[in-house]
Copies of this chain bind each other. A is one copy, B any other.
Amino acid sequence: MLTLEPGAAPLAPGYVAVAGSRIAARGRADGADVLPVARNRLDAGGRIVLPGLVNTHCHAPMVWFRGLADDLALEDWLTRFIFPLEGGWLNAGRIFLGALLASAELIRGGVTTVADGYFFAGEVRRALAQAGLRGVVAQGVVDFPAPGVPDPARNLEAAREFMDSGQGDGGSLLTSSLFCHSPYTCSAATLCAAKDLTRRRGLPFFLHLAETRGEAAELRRTTGLRPAFYLDRLGLLDDLTVAVHGVWLEEDEIELLARRQVKLSHCPESNAKLGAGVAPVPRMLARGLTVGLGTDGAASNNNLDLWGEMSLAARLHKVVAGDPTLLSAPQALALATREGARVLGLGDFVGTLAPGKEADLIVVELNRPHLTPLYDPYSHLVYAARAADVCHVMVGGRWLMRRRRLETLEEPAILEEVRGQSRELADFLGRLSRA
């Protein structure tokens, strides 16, 4: 068992006791500790128990666009595929169904907490609540027409209504917040008013930041400032702000974000596939920035598999710097668990297996050729394990998956319904291209 508490050694064998939604105790199961009395037991012998993974950046409903259009220049991809579909095909029901599909993939991959940002966020929240996932659901805000918000003048109102309607929905597992798309799609006035809405509620505030070189250059041209300094001038940088990507940040911007205690979501698979660049994560960590991992949406990834992100993060920063000691396996696993929880302001509740924390945990199969032999569990989890190795998933003391069977979702029905409607999506695109 890996508790992911800083500096803690693996407990092999270990135990974790769950009472209600929380971890009551955890320790050694080799006879050194007295095992608590339990009503139900799960023998995880030959497996690894660890905290559930935390996906700090996702657009769940974009699973609809998985593999629809790859290997294109960003503008081509957006204007020929994503924008027309978001404008003319997605609707509330499809957002809900897409978020259910995404939830199935997330649970199967051992994600227990997800931060999602998209439109019709109420539908996303309803889907994640049904799945039993923990997380932050954020309503997207942009200064142009968006799914469910055709009039951009209403974007903040829609976000405010969504946040205020979220009190109590989904039990205590889901926080409802707001996600400004970016400094280049939201005016200064929108950004400031949005941050004000979340700040007053003590909620995390998300935005894409410095994802592409062109975007950072354009911001500098229009505002005279580099991205982090621009946000700082607007007063957006504080410990509740989560900046996503941060690929094109310079050293003094990293230093500024760290000083303001801003959090960063690192999405290496999406950044790589879009050719956006490599975020300077080792330097961010050296500056003390809190960094988590995110999958981004399936339209640009094309999966919601955080194991791939760990593997890529641990490899990519080594090869970019030519230094094989950078971003070690234990560090990469910490980003995907403990640090991800801190990014979302949930560090006191999840991210490690410590008594009193919520019982969000996963069990990973080891009895597989690609995970044999075993010398170092951190190494296997980062460099060899994959989503399919997760066999059990628990959130808040409730099983979401047992023996690879989803307990909260009707997976076959979801897959079939998505397949059927995806043919309508293809037809829609076909009509569009002929028009």
| Contact B70–A272 (Cβ < 8 Å) | no
The answer, among B277, B278, B373, for a CB contact under 8 Å with A419, is B373
Copies in the complex: 2
Q: Which of A26-85 contact B (CB under 8 A)?
A: 63-64, 66-68, 70-74, 77
Which bracket fits the contact residues of A? 35 or more
| Contact A374–B275 (Cβ < 8 Å) | no
Complex: chain B residue closest to A406, CB-CB = B369
The distance in angstroms between the C-alpha atoms of A298 and B68, with both chains bound, is: 34
Complex: chain B residue closest to A322, CB-CB = B275
| Contact A383–B67 (Cβ < 8 Å) | yes
**A426 close to chain B: CB less than 8 A:** yes
| Contact B373–A66 (Cβ < 8 Å) | yes
The distance in angstroms between the C-alpha atoms of A320 and B3, with both chains bound, is: 35
Known contacts being A324-B72, A372-B419, A419-B372, is A319 close to B213, with CB within 8 Å?
A: no
**A252 close to chain B: CB less than 8 A:** no
The answer, among B326, B373, B422, for a CB contact under 8 Å with A374, is B422
- Residues from chain B with Cβ under 8 Å of A376 in the complex: 67-68, 70
**A104 close to chain B: CB less than 8 A:** yes
User: Hey, which bits of chain A sit against chain B, CB under 8 A?
Assistant: 63-64, 66-68, 70-74, 77, 101-102, 104-105, 108-109, 213, 269, 271-278, 298, 301-305, 308, 311-312, 314-316, 318-319, 321-326, 328-329, 367-370, 372-376, 379-380, 383-384, 386-389, 411, 414-415, 418-419, 421-422, 425-426
Jot down 20 A-B pairs with beta carbons below 8 A, ordered by A.
Answer: A63-B372, A66-B373, A67-B374, A67-B379, A67-B380, A71-B314, A71-B318, A71-B326, A73-B325, A105-B369, A109-B370, A275-B323, A275-B325, A275-B326, A277-B319, A298-B384, A302-B379, A305-B370, A372-B415, A375-B422
Q: Beyond the given A272-B316, A305-B370, could you list 14 further A-B residue pairs with CB under 8 A, ordered by the A residue number?
A: A66-B373, A68-B375, A71-B314, A71-B325, A108-B368, A108-B369, A108-B370, A274-B324, A275-B322, A278-B319, A305-B386, A367-B415, A369-B414, A374-B419
